[in-house]
């Protein structure tokens, strides 16, 4: 596994900059959550993906707006990489009526249908069959969509993953399974849970393509996902991408695990050296594709966008008690 991204001359400068921008959007958005969380105004659990940004960004760079993403409790990055607006996301974390889920979901349940973010399940593995179902609908309707399902190494232990993969392979559905193997499920290391640590090999059992890749290298994620997305769109069935990575923060909340004595500090520091953003940025600078000024422009505009989203979220109204019983059932007019 390489620790620093390798700049690929086959990729356009535009794509490389888009990858960097996407990762920075996720990182800066989540760092702001870290900064603001102690105010206790965001009254919901947050599962941060700092350190894992290359996977969401590299995969989603291959998608069209109409394509779908299904995700899990650690879903901010997936939504952002798929193009979700900051305002409704942030407002949701603040429990406001203007949130993407009208204050009913919180950080674990985010959605942006126009951008193809199809909702996130906080039941481990729970979103996997739904993503396959969306792909089944695409295949029945022949609408040319591809569905991406993001899930963790922990979710790969759930029976529903195998049931779903088998069905997707059987029906050759346009879906890509992206397992973000951050080596832990809550505090439990993969070695304590898996008889072998090769999740990607599961694909072969179903006659499908599986690849284990460096999930901190946005470029290798990009190429691997590109191949899988093209296969899916061409009607050649699902692929399983296992992207190795590491989460820098705790399972939930803004602190790092070593601050709570949960995981070794050294381990984190080793992975910080493999930061998906820093190495990539350095190479872009070294090759002259970007300069510091341009990067500053990018980060400034992201900062402005985040500031705006925070202000929007803080200024927004809470839902009213009358909203409590709304949306239990779907009605065409959104009533009770």
Partner 1 sequence: MPWTKIYGNKADFEKAGGAGAGLRGLTYREALHEAASQLLESDQNVFVMGEGVDDGGGVFGSTLNLHKRFGSDRVMDTPLAENALTGIAIGAAASGMRPILVHMRIDFMPLTMDQIINHAAKWSYMFGGAVSVPLTIRSIIGRGWGSAAQHSQSLQSLFANIPGLKVVMPSTPYDAKGLLRASVYDGNPVMFIEHRWLYEHMGHVPIEPYTVPIGKSITRRNGKDVTIAAVSQMVFEAMQAAELLAADGIDCEVIDLRTIRPLDSDAVIESVTKTGALIVADTGWASCGIGAELAARLVERAHGALKAPLKRINFADCPTPASPALEKAYYPDRHTIAAAVRETFELKRSNG
Q: Which stretch binds partner 1 (CB under 8 A): 15-23, 110-118, 238-246, 280-288?
A: 110-118
Cβ atoms of residues 144 and 94 within 8 Å = no
d(CA 246, CA 333): 44
Nearer to ligand TPP, 216 or 283 (CB): 216
Please check whether residue 87 is in contact with residue 313, taking contact to mean a CB–CB distance below 8 angstroms. yes
With CB under 8 A as the contact rule, the residue among 170, 234, 272, 315 that binds partner 1 is 170
Q: Does 111 bind partner 1 (CB under 8 A)?
A: yes
Question: What tokens does 228 get?
Answer: 């899988």
Contact of 75 with 84, CB cutoff 8 Å: no
In the structure encoding, which two tokens stand for residue 200, read together? 């990607």
Place of tokens 């872009």: 284
The values of phi and psi at residue 216, to 5°, are -100, 5
How far apart, in Å, are the Cα atoms of 216 and each of 129, 220, 279?
26, 9, 10
Q: Which is nearer to ligand TPP, 122 or 295 (CB)?
A: 122
Please tell me the distance from the alpha carbon of residue 290 to that of residue 282, in angstroms, as a whole number. Answer: 9
**CA 141 to chain CA centroid, nearest Å:** 26
Give least dist CB 182 to ligand TPP, A. Answer: 5
Minimum CB separation of residue 148 from ligand TPP in Å reads: 16
Q: Which of 58, 129, 210, 250 binds partner 1 (CB under 8 A)?
A: 129
Instruction: Note whether 153 binds ligand TPP by CB under 6 A.
Output: yes
Q: Considering only residues 83-102, where is the footprint of partner 1 by CB under 8 A?
A: 99-102
Q: How far is the CB of 49 from ligand TPP (least distance, A)?
A: 7
Assign 3-class secondary structure to 296-318: HHHHHHHHHHHHHHHHHHHHCCC
Is there binding between residue 131 and Mg ion (CB under 5 A)? Answer: no
Of the residues 153, 214, 217, 257, which one makes contact with Mg ion according to CB under 5 A: 153
Binding mask 68-107 for ligand TPP (x = CB under 6 A): -----xx---------------------------------
The binder of 73, among ligand TPP, Mg ion, partner 1, none, by C-beta within 5 to 8 A per type, is: ligand TPP
Which residue from 5, 136, 225, 244 is in contact with partner 1, where contact means CB under 8 A?
A: 136
If the CB atoms of residues 173 and 185 are measured against Mg ion, the closer one turns out to be 185
Cα gap 250→107, rounded to integer Å: 15
- Give the shortest CB-124-to-ligand TPP separation in angstroms: 4
What is the C-alpha separation between 76 and 50, in angstroms, rounded?
10
Determine which helix (DSSP H) or strand (DSSP E) holds 97, and give its type and residue range.
none
Q: Is 206 in the site for partner 1 (CB under 8 A)?
A: no
Residue nearest to ligand TPP (CB): 152
Taking the C-alpha atoms of residue 322 and residue 316, their distance in angstroms, rounded to an integer, is 17
Binding interface with Mg ion (CB under 5 A): 152-154, 182, 185
Binding site for partner 1 (CB under 8 A): 68, 70, 99-105, 109, 111, 113, 118-119, 121, 123, 126, 128-138, 140-141, 159-160, 163-164, 166-167, 170, 326-332, 334
């Amino acid at each position: 596994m390489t620790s620093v991204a390798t700049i690929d001359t086959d990729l356009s400068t535009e794509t490389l900059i888009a990858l960097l921008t996407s990762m920075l959007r996720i990182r800066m958005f989540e760092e702001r959550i870290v900064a603001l969380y102690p105010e206790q105004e965001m009254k919901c659990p947050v599962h941060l993906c700092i350190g894992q940004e290359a996977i969401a960004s590299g995969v989603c760079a291959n998608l069209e707006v109409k394509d779908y993403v299904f995700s899990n409790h650690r879903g901010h990055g997936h939504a952002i990489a798929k193009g979700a607006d900051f305002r409704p996301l942030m407002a949701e974390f603040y429990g406001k009526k203007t949130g993407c889920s009208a204050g009913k979901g919180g950080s674990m349940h985010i959605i942006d249908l126009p951008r193809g973010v199809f909702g996130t399940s906080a039941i481990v593995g729970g979103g996997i069959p739904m993503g396959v179902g969306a792909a089944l609908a695409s295949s029945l309707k022949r609408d040319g969509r591809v569905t991406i399902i993001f899930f963790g190494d922990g979710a790969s232990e759930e029976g529903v993953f195998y049931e779903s993969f088998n069905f997707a392979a059987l029906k050759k559905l346009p879906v890509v399974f992206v397992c973000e193997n951050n080596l832990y499920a809550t505090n439990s290391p993969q070695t304590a849970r898996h008889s072998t640590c090769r999740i990607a090999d599961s694909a072969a059992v179903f006659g499908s393509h599986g690849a284990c890749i460096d999930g901190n290298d946005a470029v290798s994620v990009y190429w691997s996902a590109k191949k899988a997305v093209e296969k899916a769109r061409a009607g050649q069935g699902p692929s399983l991408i296992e992207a190795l990575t590491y989460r820098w923060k705790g399972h939930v909340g803004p602190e790092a695990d070593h601050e709570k004595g949960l995981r070794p500090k050294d381990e984190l520091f080793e992975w910080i050296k493999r930061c998906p953003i820093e190495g990539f940025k350095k190479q872009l600078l070294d090759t002259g594709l970007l300069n510091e000024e341009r990067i500053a422009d990018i980060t400034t505009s992201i900062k402005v966008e985040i500031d705006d989203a925070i202000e929007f979220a803080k200024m927004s109204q809470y839902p009213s008690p009358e909203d409590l019983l709304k949306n239990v059932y779907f009605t065409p007019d959104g009533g009770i």
